[in-house]
Amino acid sequence: MHLLTPVKPGVATVVSNERCTASRKSSGFVRHLALDVSGTPLEGAFLSGQSFGVIPPGTDQFGRQHKLRLYSIASPTRGEDGSGKILATTVKRTIDEHWESGKLFLGVASNYLCDLRVGDKVTVTGPNGKRFLLPADPAAHDYLFFATGTGIAPFYGMIRELLGRDTGSRVVFTMGSPYATDLLYHRELTDLAERHANFTYLTALSRERQLDGSPPMYAHDRLARSADIFAPMLESPRTLIYVCGIAGMELGVFQRLAERLSEPARDQYLRVDASARENIANWERRMINKELHPTRRVFLEVY
Ligand SMILES: Cc1cc2nc3c(=O)[nH]c(=O)nc-3n(C[C@H](O)[C@H](O)[C@H](O)COP(=O)(O)OP(=O)(O)OC[C@H]3O[C@@H](n4cnc5c(N)ncnc54)[C@H](O)[C@@H]3O)c2cc1C
């Protein structure tokens, strides 16, 4: 970790910058940005699941250099190129309205990254992150991955890592998004699922009917709606659960686990204090790590 720091950063070169939403009609703008880090200490030294830092050029309103922002690595450990020279991320443009003035606000780093052209240079740091990783022996486990938005980034790397290494692990990935037009890497993931019998790709659309016509749902609702897929995996001691995306989504996953599993099965993933055992529907995010204790088989990265 931290081979490159804000004091001693490195310079990467853009090799591609492409839209990765399912349709031009998406309400968000998300891009798959690939950077060549060869010749920097990052080359061959990052793992899928880690993130890296970007220091945007220029200064903030106080004249200070812009602060570093973190972006998840969306590549397998061997990189996009197979030899750890090219890492990618999944960047969503932050577009907001200033609360008081009502003026348009464009996020500094995300819009800088989304505007980059092939050949442009980027100041990078990292790698960061030592917990949200695949285990040391990936073949010893099966995986339930849940994502919303750019939370897909680490999974896009991990899925390709697991399938590429032929671990034989069972991998079920659930992507939650408001509309089908917002799905990310949809074609690529559909192709992977068609080619690998051990990989299942599920979507959960929260503001419109599902692709098969069934009613709207959140990513965590898949635990109930696709119980035939999830129930046997949740009972298995091999299974690990990973959740990445919008802060709060992990609570929904915990609630469904508590509702659907017997206490011993639930305890494999989540220990619940006696004070919280009733009223699962009223659980709040602030209870996590106080009354709700995810076990070592649960990995969270929410932001
Ligand atoms: C571990 C980790 C991994 C991450 N991975 C990814 C990833 O893979 N992809 C991704 O897209 N993001 C990722 N992020 C988020 C990313 O780090 C940035 O926070 C995000 O891109 C927004 O940065 P920005 O510079 O564009 O926005 P900023 O300029 O930092 O603005 C962020 C928000 O602050 C508010 N704000 C700040 N200044 C003003 C102002 N002057 N007026 C009005 N409002 C203001 C706005 O609400 C704005 O939406 C990750 C974060 C973490 C912690």
Which band of pLDDT confidence, cut at 50, 70 and 90, is reported for residue 22? confident
Question: What pLDDT is stored for residue 187 in this prediction?
Answer: 97
216 has pLDDT over 90: yes
Which band of pLDDT confidence, cut at 50, 70 and 90, is reported for residue 208? very high
pTM: 0.96
184 has pLDDT over 90: yes
Please report the atom of ligand 1 found closest to the CA of residue 91: 11
CATH of domain 138-302: 3.40.50.80
From the number of C-beta atoms within 10 Å of its C-beta (0-12, 13-18, 19+), residue 226 rates as: middle
203 CB within 6 A, ligand 1: no
Question: What pLDDT is stored for residue 66 in this prediction?
Answer: 97
Asked whether the beta carbons of 172 and 231 are under 8 A apart, the reply is no
pLDDT in tens, 117-170: 999 999 999 999 999 999 999 999 999 999 999 999 999 999 999 999 999 999
Q: How many beta carbons lie within 10 A of that of residue 276, not counting itself? A: 17
Could you please report the per-residue DSSP string of 23-45? -TT-SS-EEEEEEE-TTSTTTT-
Report d(CA 128, CA 119) in Å as an integer.
25
For residue 95, report the distance from its CA to the centre of ligand 1, in Å: 10
Question: What pLDDT is stored for residue 7 in this prediction?
Answer: 96
Q: Where in the chain is the domain with CATH 3.40.50.80?
A: 138-302
C-alpha closest to that of 10 among 87, 77, 75, 78: 87
Q: Which residue pairs, CB below 8 angstroms and at least 24 apart, start in 60-64?
A: 60/108
109 CB within 6 A, ligand 1: yes
Structural domain 10-128, CATH architecture: Beta Barrel (2.40)
Pocket test of ligand 1: the residue of 33, 96, 99, 131 to mutate, having most ligand atoms within 8 Å of its CB, is 96
Report d(CA 298, CA 248) in Å as an integer.
15
Question: What pLDDT is stored for residue 23 in this prediction?
Answer: 87
Question: Cis peptide before 127, with omega less than 30 degrees from 0?
Answer: yes
Question: What pLDDT is stored for residue 299 in this prediction?
Answer: 98
C-alpha closest to that of 184 among 39, 38, 72, 97: 72
Largest CA distance in the chain: 57
Question: What pLDDT is stored for residue 276 in this prediction?
Answer: 96
112 CB within 6 A, ligand 1: no
Average pLDDT over residues 4-27: 95
For residue 44, report the distance from its CA to the centre of ligand 1, in Å: 27
pLDDT in tens, 99-130: 999 999 999 999 999 999 999 999 999 999 99
205 has pLDDT over 90: yes
SS3 128: strand
Describe the crossing of helices 227-235 and 249-260 by its angle, rounded to 10 degrees. 80
pLDDT over 70, % of the chain:
100
92 has pLDDT over 90: yes
Report d(CA 284, CA 292) in Å as an integer.
10
C-alpha closest to that of 20 among 191, 185, 188, 189: 185
The dihedral over CA atoms of 256, 257, 263, 265, expressed in degrees to the nearest 10, equals: 150
End-to-end CA distance of the chain: give it in Å, rounded: 20
Report d(CA 150, CA 30) in Å as an integer.
8
Question: What pLDDT is stored for residue 64 in this prediction?
Answer: 96
24 has pLDDT over 90: no
Average pLDDT over residues 59-85: 97
103 CB within 6 A, ligand 1: no
Asked whether the beta carbons of 20 and 28 are under 8 A apart, the reply is no
Atom 27, ligand 1: residue with shortest CA distance: 107
148 CB within 6 A, ligand 1: no
Q: Where in the chain is the domain with CATH 2.40.30.10?
A: 10-128
* pLDDT, the chain, mean: 97
Report d(CA 252, CA 146) in Å as an integer.
11
pLDDT in tens, 243-295: 999 999 999 999 999 999 999 999 999 999 999 998 999 999 999 999 999 99
